[in-house]
Amino acid sequence: MKITVLGNAQTNVSFAIITFEEMALSSDLASKIVSENLTITGLAGRYGVALFDLAKEAKNLKKIAQDMVDLAQMLATSPDLKAVTLNPVISAGDKGRAMGAIAKAADFDPLVANFIGVVAANGRLDHLENIISEFGRILAHHNGEVSASVTTARKLTKAQLDALKTKLKSMVGSKVTVDTDVDEKLLGGMVVKIGSRMIDSSLATKLANLEESMKEVG
């Protein structure tokens, strides 16, 4: 199976073909990735753990997880909402009331609404996106999923992303959630980080390695 990643559109050059076989993992390494302990650090991590524990205690993890996905989508698609969370001029009380109204309109679980209210009251809404991300990471670990970060030179199509998820799942033996990013400096190929392991098959790195090898020969 292959994925073709185009380089800079202005050059009309197809820079690289990524073969998933290049990213093969040994079974031992795959098992280590799946069994890695989850490390939680920072303010967002602590809030994420608190929400996860409350959701488990309430035995309503599925609904609360969906609410957080919906909230993340709102923040990603509404500049005005995101501005409310980040604006230091708006008081914590006003932010809390605004977020409370949004939670009510979205029919969020009361636990989620209360949690957002606490975050607002503590003046931490500027960390909300990171808190949601950390909650998702904790949830994925709880469900036995593995998180992967994939950086490519060009945005992957849905078909390419689906194919990549399928391959990664076969490599590690469990479901993989994938976060994607674009870095045109890679020229082609991709950099995949799974757990604490990184697989760099980018064209930029290959060219750099080739250049270094040529220096040694010279």
pLDDT tens for 49-78 read: 999 999 999 999 999 999 999 999 999 999
Sequence-ordered strand ranges (E) for 10-67:
16-19
Residues 112 and 61 in one domain: yes
Regarding whether 135 and 166 lie in a shared domain, the answer is no
Last residue of a domain, one of 98, 124, 140: 140
* pLDDT number for residue 196: 61
What integer is the mean pLDDT of 101-126?
95
Instruction: Report the predicted TM-score, pTM, of the whole model to 2 decimal places.
Output: 0.62
In this structure, the answer to whether residues 188 and 170 fall within a common structural domain is yes
One domain for residues 8 and 74? no
CATH number of the domain encompassing residue 89: 1.10.520.20
Judge if 14 and 78 occupy the same domain. Answer: no
User: How far apart (Å, rounded) are the C-alpha atoms in residues 195 and 176?
Assistant: 11
Sheet with 197-200, strands from edge to edge, namely: 176-182, 146-152, 190-194, 197-200
Residue 101 pLDDT exceeds 60: yes
At which residue do the structure tokens 């708006």 appear? 90
Structure confidence at residue 87 (pLDDT)? 94
pLDDT value at residue 58: 93
Residue 50 and residue 123 in one domain: yes
104 and 52 in a common domain: yes
The Cα–Cα gap between 200 and 218 comes to 26
- Which residues have C-beta within 8 Å of that of residue 34, sequence separation ≥ 6? 144, 146, 172, 173, 174
Both 18 and 50 in one domain: the answer is: no
Cβ atoms within 10 Å of 148's Cβ, excluding its own: 23
Domain total for the chain? 2
- Are 213 and 151 in a shared domain? yes
Query: In the prediction, which pLDDT does 181 show?
Result: 86
pLDDT of 141 reads 81
* 66 and 22 belong to one structural domain: no
24-33, 115-124, 203-212: segment of lowest average pLDDT: 24-33
Range of lowest pLDDT (61-70, 101-110, 152-161): 152-161
Q: What is the pLDDT of residue 202?
A: 64
Show the domain range for 76: 42-140
Exposure string (b/e) for 194-215, b if CB count within 10 Å is 16 or more?
Answer: bbeeebbbbbbeeeeeeeeeee
Residues 135 and 168 in one domain: no
- Residue 215 pLDDT greater than 60, yes or no: yes
